[in-house]
Structure 1
Amino acid sequence: MNVSEKPPSTFGQSLKNKLFSWLPQQRAETREDVLENLRQAEEDGIVARDAYDMMQRVMFVSDLQVRDIMVPRSSMAYVEREHSLDQCLDVMVDSGHSRFPVVDNEKDQIIGILLAKDLLHFFDEDNKQRFNLRDLTRPVVFIPESKRLNVLLSEFRENRNHMAIVVDEFGAIAGLVTIEDVLEQIVGNIEDEHDIEDDENLIRTMEDGEVIVKAVLPIDEFNEHFECYLNETNSDTIGGLISQTLGHVPVRGESVDIDQFNFEIIHADSRRIHLIRVHKQAS
């Protein structure tokens, strides 16, 4: 062997052999063949479970149409053309969204899109008097209910749009769809704080197994759910117990250990806690 040559990496050769052993011996001719190869790769540990699930969703996203995932007209959050700045802010705070259709005649006509960030300039008292919603309204994109999601995603990326208004076969407003709605069909549900806060449940277990609770969760309900006993002598809620333990209202990212639990604050303001991530530590 030439002294300048190096022996092949054992790890690299092993990985190479593993990959070649996974490659199908004959060409996949149908989508079912591809899915079967992916399933086998996941079982053999070559493809992670999350990646396998995502690739499956990618394979089927072209089967879905906009009507399958859109927010229906009755559930749309919107602002009206004649709304004042304060009225727009109320809608935004209540919904937690960042983009809103601007409507005329009670959702029968949508004249544009308003971005929440465009209102930041008017928080100054001097600029507040110059607020005019019509000046801030951006062009709206209309799409049919029958549009395929893979086509819509390509259009969103190409045109750098994040929201489109959906119309039915007669041209009437049917609902709206956002790029997040499309991406969720590929990567799974995208949770945010408003999704959780709007949930009526006080305890929510996420897809990855982590547990989020609302600060208003009564301690006795927490104890019942986790089969534990946290002292509720001086506080009625989990948020109150945490604040009392720390001696102040905690900020986002702050955490505290109480008994066998770690509590991490994931949403709070200057006055109170809203959402808490709960991790039960090994005893």
Structure 2
Amino acid sequence: MSGHRGSFLSRLGQLLGRKQTEHSLRESIAELVQEAADAQHVPGEQPELDRHERLLIANVLRLRETTADDVMVPRADIVAMRADLTLNEAIELIRNDGHSRLPVYREQLDDVIGMVHIKDVFAYVGRPEEFSLEAILRKPLLVAPQMPVLDLLLQMRQQRIHLALVVDEYGGIDGLVTIEDLVETITGDIADEHDDVEAPMFTERSDGAIDLNARLPIEDFEQRVGPVLTEDERDADIDTVGGLVFTLAGRVPTRGEVISHPSGIEFRVLDADARRLRRLRVRRPDKGPETTVPAAAA
């Protein structure tokens, strides 16, 4: 361990050993991380904290007050199985959705009776007459909307459960959270060894269109293309381009759909799953039209 890194860990240990409020502890750790970021790097020596580590710590500090309600997939976007599906119907739904675990319900979504893993479904291929969703159900984890996400992540890891359902005070299903979603909220945009092949956030094409990551902040987008949001959209606190497209369509559009904005800008969905938009192609009015699906009809 380098002297710089050892010094950081030593100071962090001292902070954790002091008696102080949670708020002041978070502020102290944030200041320590900022000091590490500002420290002059000596060539050949390992820095106290690299960029990825700083982002990780910052995200954990920020998420202390984030709840399940903040990160859940909303009820309207939940893909679930009816308990009476046949094997072929269940497999078709799995193939269309692309997720490994799905809730199972009887008459309506509020009547969830468990969750199913796709490997348990595919185990019945070749013997459909023996298949029953209720026979292969796994127990779901039910949590309150106010549960802190870090506590939820710990509970899901301890119980080895990958999917939790967010339930309101009346027992209705508000949303769904996966352990992958929770980990992503902590790691955020932290890069890995595949970063050199990851598509950039914003790429201008030779035909004038723009390919971008749906997580691109709306402020960055407007800095490049000019003002886009309407007054109502600004009041709605839309943070990302993907959030704008979701708001226009009223749902998560599917791959290939084109959603029109009142400004004349058109958004084609290049990549998406049932829960989120990933990449979009943007065409401005002066760059030639796409074949559009009007937002009102989406």
- TM-score bracket, shorter-length normalisation: 0.5 to 0.7
Change (3 A) 1:27 1:175: same
Q: Which residue of 1 aligns with 2:140?
A: 140
Structure 1 SS opposite 2:175 = strand
Q: Any stretches of 5+ residues in structure 1 without a counterpart?
A: 1-11, 192-205, 213-220, 228-283
Change (3 A) 1:22 1:114: closer
Q: Which residue of 2 aligns with 1:104?
A: 106
Q: Which residue of 2 aligns with 1:210?
A: 198
Pairs aligned (count)? 193
Q: Which residue of 2 aligns with 1:157?
A: 157
Change (3 A) 1:170 1:156: same
Aligned 8 A contact 1:22 1:41 in 2? no
Pairing partner for 1:42 from 37, 43, 53: 37
Change (3 A) 1:226 1:109: closer
- Distance (whole Å) between structure 2 residues aligned to residue 21 and residue 70 of structure 1: 35
Q: Any stretches of 5+ residues in structure 2 without a counterpart?
A: 40-46, 211-298
Structure 2 SS opposite 1:63 = coil
For each residue in 1:152-184, what CA deviation from the matched residue of structure 2 results, as whole angstroms up to 9, or x when unmatched? 111111111111111112221111111111111
- The one-letter code sitting in structure 1 at the alignment partner of 2:36 is A
Q: Which residue of 2 aligns with 1:231?
A: none
Measure how far apart 1:225 and its partner are.
Answer: 6.4
Aligned 8 A contact 1:184 1:190 in 2? no
Pairing partner for 2:122 from 110, 120, 123: 120
Measure how far apart 1:121 and its partner are.
Answer: 1.6
- Distance (whole Å) between structure 1 residues aligned to residue 95 and residue 190 of structure 2: 20
Pairing partner for 1:33 from 5, 17, 28: 28
Structure 1 SS opposite 2:95 = helix
- The one-letter code sitting in structure 1 at the alignment partner of 2:61 is M
Query: In percent, how many aligned pairs have the same letter?
Result: 27
**Under a length normalisation based on structure 1, what TM-score does the superposition of the two structures give?**
0.59
- Distance (whole Å) between structure 2 residues aligned to residue 210 and residue 26 of structure 1: 36
Aligned 8 A contact 2:56 2:190 in 1? no
Change (3 A) 1:16 1:122: same
Measure how far apart 1:52 and its partner are.
Answer: 0.3
- Distance (whole Å) between structure 1 residues aligned to residue 86 and residue 115 of structure 2: 16
For each residue in 1:183-230, what CA deviation from the matched residue of structure 2 results, as whole angstroms up to 9, or x when unmatched? 111112699xxxxxxxxxxxxxx9877228xxxxxxxx9643699xxx
Pairing partner for 1:56 from 46, 55, 58: 58
1:173 equivalent in alignment to 2:173: yes
Q: Which residue of 2 aligns with 1:16?
A: 3
For each residue in 1:95-135, what CA deviation from the matched residue of structure 2 results, as whole angstroms up to 9, or x when unmatched? 110000001112121011011010222222xx222111111
Measure how far apart 1:145 and its partner are.
Answer: 0.7
Change (3 A) 1:223 1:23: same
Alignment RMSD (CA, Å): 3.5
Q: Which residue of 1 aligns with 2:207?
A: 224
